[in-house]
Amino acid sequence: MHGSAKGRIVAAVVAILVGSPLNLSGQAGPADETDPPLIVSYRQALMRANQQRLGALRALTSGEIDLPEHRRLHSAALADNGRMMMTRAAAGIHDVFPAGSTHATSRASDEIWQRSGDFTERVRDFALAASAVNEAAQGGSTEQIREAIAEVGRTCNGCHQEFRLPAPDAGS
Ligand code: HEC
Q: Residue ranges of the domains in the chain?
A: 36-163
pLDDT of 27 higher than 70:
no
CB 71 within 8 A of CB 136: no
Distance of CA 142 to the CA centre of its chain: 24
Cβ 106 under 6 angstroms from ligand 1: yes
Average pLDDT over residues 3-20: 50
Average pLDDT over residues 37-51: 98
Cβ 10 under 6 angstroms from ligand 1: no
Record: fold of 36-163? Four Helix Bundle (Hemerythrin (Met), subunit A) (1.20.120)
- 18-22, 27-31, 38-42: least confidently modelled range: 18-22
Side chain identity, residue 77: A
Convert 55-92 to b/e letters by CB count within 10 Å (16 or more is b): ebbeebbeeeeeeeeebbebbbbbbebbeebbeebeee
pLDDT of 12 higher than 90:
no
pLDDT of 169 higher than 80:
no
pLDDT of 94 higher than 90:
yes
Average pLDDT, the chain: 87
Q: Angle, to 10 degrees, between the axis of helix 2-18 and the axis of helix 38-60?
A: 80
CA 66 / ligand 1 centre spacing (Å): 29
CA 137 / ligand 1 centre spacing (Å): 23
* Cα distance between residue 154 and residue 148, in whole Å: 10
CA 51 / ligand 1 centre spacing (Å): 8
| 83-92: pLDDT as tens digits | 999 999 999 9
